[in-house]
Structure 1
Amino acid sequence: MKKLFKIFVFVSLFASGAYAQKKPNVIVILADDLGYADLGCYGSEIPTPNLDKLAANGVRLTSFYNTARCCPTRAALLTGVYSHQAGIGHMMDDKGADHPAYRGQLNDKSVTIAEVMKSAGYFTVMTGKWHVGQPHGTVPWKRGFDRSLNAPAGGFYYGDGKNAKVFLNGEELANDSEKLPKNWYSTDLWTDFGLRFIDEAAKEKKPFMLYLAHNAPHFPLQAPEEDIARFRGKYLKGWEKLRQERYEKQIKLGLIDPSWKLPPSNPNIPKWDSLSEEDKKRYDDMMAIYAAVIYRLDKSIGDLVAGLKQRGVFDDTVILFVSDNGGNAEPGMEGRYEGTKPGDSQSTVFLGQGWAEAACTPFWAYKHHTHEGGISSPGIISWPAGIPASSNGKFEKQPAHIIDIMATLVDLGGAKYPTEFAGKPIQPLEGASLRPAFTGKPVNRKNPIFWEHEGNRAIRDGNWKLVAEKTEKWQLYDVEKDRSELHDQFEKQPEIAQKLVAKYDAWYKRVGAEDYDKTFKWFYDYEKAKSGK
């Protein structure tokens, strides 16, 4: 009878979930304007030991894609549908009710990762840059997050910055509030409060989901002087040499195929040797500031990991690290270098086009654009308890997209994605769970991946990518053989090209994308550049 009683107790506990598989904690980290080649484990010379260690003990995605711009990427990450479907087909400008894909805020036809994971028993928190409609009243504390410390749209690093504004659980704080650390730096602040919120999850005995949305390394580039000094003078070799060195390191790492040739330099970027010594010094300082911002971003990742380990939860925590778009070439070749002490809290520094090209190595284009440089991101996955040691340091080449984050979290958390929420019908998921890719298994992707931003457009279906800037004709590339997009196959593979054009046209109409009436004069003509190779 005792034996039967023990069996009965075991079965009862198992059925009640006491012996059920423990749900992992989840952290999604989004960098801002970080290029594909800006981390050490993706080819950079900037020391990023903490992210490199996560990659060495986890999995690196070689073909992780974003939407080419900040607001749309955040919308797609948060909802698991394309940004147009979520109401943010461009930025936060509202084009009115007649343009539902362009309302500038998350709509009620979508749910957020917080709303879905909360329903699965998670304690949901976010820190960092929101940028999906706070001016319109769409805020994290009303979209499922139990705790939040957020900036409406970024644009600062220090509390005395002119754009500095933070909200703690819906309460706007003075930047010198006693609730905040003294002399805070936003990159550290987001991590600090992320760990505080994780402690609250522990008190409630719930698994946590943290969405950590950095504003680094977005302009205005600012960092402590001692960190900038680490890099000052190291970039006097120029952007051509830096790009070549990163390309060679990527090949050595095994990150890219050696057959992918480095595209010709942008013809709008002057040769480094043609610059005056004064210009070289200024550009060197701009890149040193950018490197310092990334260095501090990596340090914050190290602080986060150390905090997780101190709390005994690191092994059971899935960490996904990605970026919202490619390197930022705004507003053009000159960038911006303003202030009495560039890099401090009162200055404004933009990276500029020359260094942005190195940031996006080995690809074409930058932020805004749907060629690979604009949409490709580092993608690092860490989960000591869920990724076998045999997979540590491996590269995963399957394409993945920011819309896949929601499906992945639903899979990891045993959540149910709703067909209805708060009395409103919810659009079906567009992404696929990336969990199989954690261990090298095929992702169950049923549809191609699509892009549209400012009239720049693309579709990737298997190894084929159809792409065009707003002012260009369609081009077709075999991105397994030619991911640097140098050999257009549109005329050579007309059947494939036309099938992809038809698929793209159907998607474009389905998500409500519209023609865009703005072009960027500082950008260049791809065909002219390629013909000069």
Structure 2
Amino acid sequence: MNSSALSYLKLGLIAFVAVFLTDICCSRQVWSAENEQQRPNILLIVADDLGYSDLGCFGGEIETPHLDSLAAKGVRLTQFYNTGRCCPSRGSLMTGQYPHRIGLGHMTRNLNQRGYQGHIADEAITIAQILQRGGYRTFLSGKWHLGTEDPTKLGFEEFYGTLVSAKTFWDVNHFTRLPASRATHTYPKGEFYGTDAVTDYAIDFMHMGRRTPDQPWFLYLAYNAPHFPLHAPKEDILKYADRYHIGWDQVRKQRLARMKSLGIVPQNTKLSPRSRYWDWGESESRVNPAWDSLPTDRRGDLARRMAIFAAMVDRMDRNIGRVLTSLRQNNELENTLIIFTSDNGACAEWDPHGFDIKSSRNNTLYWGNQLDKMGGPDTHHSVGSGWANASNTPWRLYKHYNHEGGIASPGIVHWPAQVQQTGTIRSNPAHIIDIAPTLLEAAQVSYPSQWDGHATLPLPGQSLMPLVKGQKQTARTLYFEHQGNRALREGRWKLSALRGEPWELYDISQDRTELNNLAQQYPDLTKQMAQKWNVWAKENFVLPFPKDYRIDYLAPLAK
């Protein structure tokens, strides 16, 4: 071949390669554009201290029409689990990891152990960071409480809310806007209310996301409600003022009947006895009293506490309605993945009477005209263990514990573009660690094997999408621990234990209220499951347990 022919051949090859690469690039651009249009917006809504049966769609008497509508057109998860406490659950939500693995095995106090650092570990990556790198806009409105001072350094473009647990719903200065240079809303004096404001900014953030229509958005809407202090507008409280004078015993019975009617629990479900509670700093438990055994003035005080709690849930639901209206008005509801849950079961702190002023033994008895002051800016109440027991109907115990009352949450998934099982109920076990892989699957973003040059931790959870679509599930084991309370869920069996007490074994398929302890009947199974929990606990920095949690409310274990 002469040099001239060789030159023409080279030019031809170059032209062919250029056309071929152009075709590849164009096809990738076309695929990306089509793919971007298919990717959903993502709205993750989390309530704080909401009990398993508080929502109408889970059997409660509180009016929650907007969440009920999501359930009626989506999927309810009736065996959806959390970690038993707010900070650990939120850490798991954000990272897809068990909480001790990322240093949040307890709360935000550093206990100088790998699993109890009191802040999200430096090597952890958040779902917001991954989605942001995958092309999503990312926003957070509400509660952060992961031991760090700035969520915008962990994947969120914009933040409004509380960096710690809410101390008040009435003081605008308790809420923070980040980056600090951003403009803020101005509220007339006396018209600020935290749940409303968190929603105002959530809607602002959705508007921001719409300014870049080629990018979907992720909004983490993390309400403080109905966490104490019990604060609500007076008109909302009055709506429920007469509803709870029947007391927690009757409310529990009524809720269980509705739960059976809705299919939330099986027809053979038994109501657990009134639960034990541990007062501030006490090692010995007592049992919640019968409602009718309480003095008249005490019943009036407690009925008003629960009325305020209900008002907070009602107000949260109406604000969720505002968010849904914004989605509908912008034709986004069809292709927005919405997940709703609670970070733990209802809160018993610390006894049947609840506390006042601050979390402690303090209690103020309100009666007569004093009841009208409750829930206002100058008050600070909790609902107490009796009503928390009712909120967690029909389960035992509450937040802090790993029996069902502490770790069972209502779960709702709504995504009309992909989930067509309208009003379906799924009773397969799932866990809050499953939310991260679910969001990644929906967003079509791969979980990275490396992040900024470092290997990432594998995700222990699995996507909820096969579950909500009714596909066959693989067998799995779920693990729990908080303050020495611990559990393991595997198939029909659940191992549960209180701090310092031996393991209990329950057949959840027949006895989810954990009434019939089978540990002595099946000692080998109990031992086998306990060993499996120990392996997990060592691998995930749960063990050794801290010798001192540095908190006054937790009594030291007897030596």
Instruction: Give the TM-score normalised by the residue count of structure 1.
Output: 0.90
Find the aligned partners of 1:462 and 1:431 in 2 and give their Cα distance.
16
Q: Which residue of 1 aligns with 2:419?
A: 387
Q: Which residue of 1 aligns with 2:397?
A: 365
Q: Is the 8 A contact 2:44 2:219 kept in 1?
A: yes
Q: Is the 8 A contact 1:33 1:328 kept in 2?
A: yes
Q: Which residue of 2 aligns with 1:498?
A: 527
Q: Is the 8 A contact 1:259 1:482 kept in 2?
A: no
Q: Which residue of 2 aligns with 1:323?
A: 342
Find the aligned partners of 2:376 and 2:329 in 1 and give their Cα distance.
33
SS of the residue aligned with 1:398? Answer: coil
Find the aligned partners of 1:421 and 1:443 in 2 and give their Cα distance.
30
Find the aligned partners of 2:34 and 2:64 in 1 and give their Cα distance.
39
Report the CA distance between 1:146 and its aligned residue.
1.3
Q: How does 1:212-361 map to 2 (within 5 A)?
A: 212-266=221-275, 268-337=287-356, 341-361=373-393
Report the CA distance between 1:522 and its aligned residue.
9.0
Report the CA distance between 1:154 and its aligned residue.
2.9
Letter in 1 for 2:249: E
Matched, 1:461 2:472: no
Letter in 1 for 2:492: N
Letter in 1 for 2:265: I
SS of the residue aligned with 1:348? Answer: coil
SS of the residue aligned with 2:38? Answer: coil
Report the CA distance between 1:471 and its aligned residue.
2.5
Q: Which residue of 2 aligns with 1:81?
A: 97
SS of the residue aligned with 1:189? Answer: helix
Deviations 1:200-229 (A, max 9, x none): 111122100111111000000100000000
Deviations 1:370-411 (A, max 9, x none): 0000000000111111111xx111101111111111111111
Q: Equivalent of 1:131, from 131, 134, 145?
A: 145
**Residues 521 and 10 from structure 1, CA distance in 2 versus in 1: closer, same or farther, beyond 3 angstroms?**
closer
Matched, 1:42 2:64: no
Letter in 2 for 1:23: R
Q: Pairwise CA RMSD of aligned residues?
A: 2.3
Letter in 1 for 2:85: R
Moved more, 484-493 or 367-376: 484-493
Q: Equivalent of 2:163, from 137, 152, 159?
A: 152
Q: Which residue of 1 aligns with 2:44?
A: 28
Tell which structure's C-alpha radius of gyration is larger.
2
Q: Runs (4+) of structure 1 moved beyond 4 Å?
A: 8-11, 337-340, 516-524
Report the CA distance between 1:422 and its aligned residue.
2.5
Matched, 1:110 2:124: yes
Find the aligned partners of 1:424 and 1:189 in 2 and give their Cα distance.
38
Find the aligned partners of 1:444 and 1:121 in 2 and give their Cα distance.
31
Deviations 1:290-348 (A, max 9, x none): 11001001111111100111111111101100001101000212202558621012210
Find the aligned partners of 1:95 and 1:521 in 2 and give their Cα distance.
14
Matched, 1:425 2:455: yes
Matched, 1:404 2:423: no
Letter in 2 for 1:343: G
Q: Which residue of 2 aligns with 1:16?
A: 31
Q: Which residue of 1 aligns with 2:282?
A: none
Letter in 1 for 2:87: C
Report the CA distance between 1:444 and its aligned residue.
4.5
Find the aligned partners of 1:201 and 1:308 in 2 and give their Cα distance.
12
Letter in 2 for 1:306: T
Q: How does 1:137-176 map to 2 (within 5 A)?
A: 137=149, 139-160=150-171, 164-171=173-180
Q: Which residue of 2 aligns with 1:413?
A: 443
Report the CA distance between 1:9 and its aligned residue.
11
Q: Is the 8 A contact 1:119 1:415 kept in 2?
A: no
Moved more, 335-344 or 478-487: 335-344
**Residues 387 and 214 from structure 1, CA distance in 2 versus in 1: closer, same or farther, beyond 3 angstroms?**
same
Letter in 2 for 1:58: G
Q: Which residue of 1 aligns with 2:472?
A: 442
Letter in 1 for 2:130: V
Q: Is the 8 A contact 2:274 2:289 kept in 1?
A: no
Find the aligned partners of 1:444 and 1:91 in 2 and give their Cα distance.
32
Report the CA distance between 1:10 and its aligned residue.
13
Instruction: Give the TM-score normalised by the residue count of structure 2.
Output: 0.86
Report the CA distance between 1:516 and its aligned residue.
4.3
Find the aligned partners of 1:374 and 1:516 in 2 and give their Cα distance.
21
Give the gaps of 5 or more residues in structure 2: 1-22, 276-285, 358-363, 365-369
